Structure 1
Amino acid sequence: MAHAYRTSARVEAPADVVWQVLADVERMPAWTSSMSRVTILGPEPAIAVGSRVEIEQPGLPKAIWEVDGLTEGRGFSWSSSSPGVRTSAAHQIAPLPDDACEVTLAVAQSGMLAGLTNLVLGSKARDFVDTELAGIKAESELRARDKG
């Protein structure tokens, strides 16, 4: 059984500005309290398909995420596995005609222990996704104002 959560927000910043925020994953802890530390382990110094990223989040064990999809300027997805649970997350940017964009974040868990994990950590995971989206919005809008 899979458990999923998806949320979106309008961001008053061009898609290229939002992409700069999202693609610099090691700086995530600077703009969202849902991340304590993010380190790209390689093989590239920036995120790319196949990149492995170590993420520490408050109250959760350290996890290794692997980038499994990336469209330059539009988003990326990554996934992490632990015994009995696979977690996948996506970050998507959709440009709007008025120099703004819609950002969508999604997370899904599957596997034998997904139900139990969702029961224990589902609320925290949803809060982290909401916090991350608010951080993306605030940081992107700040950078767009500073740029303009």
Structure 2
Amino acid sequence: MAHAYRTSTRVEAPADVVWQVLSDVERMPTWTSSMTSVTILGPEPAITLGSRVEMTQPGLPRSVWEVDGLAEGRGFSWSSSTPGIRSGAAHQIAPLSDAACEVTLVVAQSGMLAGLTNVVLGSRARELVDTELAELKAEAELRVRDKS
């Protein structure tokens, strides 16, 4: 059984500004409290299809995620597996105008232990996704204000 959580918000910043913030994954801990550490394991210094990324989030165990989807300027997805559970997350940017876009974050778990994991860690995972989205919006909008 799969468990998924999806949330979206309008960001008053161009899609390319949001992409600059979002795709620089190692800097995520500088703008969101939902990430403690993020390290690209290589070989490229930026995310690419197939990149492996180690992350630590408050209240969750350290994990390694692999980028399994990448649309330059529009988003990426990554997934992580442990015995009994596969987690996936997507970060999507949809332009609304030259100065605004909609950002959608999705997290899902599947596998034999997905139900138990959702009971134990589901509310914490949803809280982290909501925090990341709110702080991504704030960071992107701040960058636009700082340019003016």
Q: TM-score, normalised by structure 1?
A: 0.98
Within 5 Å, which residues of 2 pair with 1:41-52?
41-52=41-52
SS in 1 for 2:26: helix
Q: Which residue of 2 aligns with 1:79?
A: 79
Q: 2: CA distance between counterparts of 1:60 and 1:96?
A: 34
SS in 2 for 1:132: helix
Q: 1: CA distance between counterparts of 2:72 and 2:98?
A: 21
Q: CA deviation at 1:66?
A: 0.2
Q: Which amino acid aligns with 1:116?
A: L
Q: Which residue of 1 aligns with 2:97?
A: 97
Q: Which residue of 1 aligns with 2:130?
A: 130
SS in 1 for 2:94: strand
Check conservation: 2:14, 2:97, Cα contact below 8 A: no
Q: 1: CA distance between counterparts of 2:97 and 2:46?
A: 29
Q: How many residues align?
A: 148
Check conservation: 1:13, 1:141, Cα contact below 8 A: yes
Q: Which amino acid aligns with 2:141?
A: E
Q: Which residue of 2 aligns with 1:35?
A: 35
SS in 2 for 1:50: coil
Answering whether residue 147 of structure 2 is matched by residue 114 of structure 1, we say no
Q: 2: CA distance between counterparts of 1:42 and 1:34?
A: 22
Q: Structure 2: where are the runs of 5+ without partners? A: none
Q: Report runs of 4+ in structure 1 exceeding 2 Å deviation.
A: none
Q: Which amino acid aligns with 2:43?
A: P
Check conservation: 2:59, 2:124, Cα contact below 8 A: no
Q: Structure 1: where are the runs of 5+ without partners? A: none
Q: TM-score, normalised by structure 2?
A: 0.98
Q: CA deviation at 1:92?
A: 0.3
Answering whether residue 23 of structure 2 is matched by residue 17 of structure 1, we say no
* CA-atom RMSD in angstroms: 0.7
Q: Deviations over 1:10-38 (max 9, x none)?
A: 00000000000000000111111110000
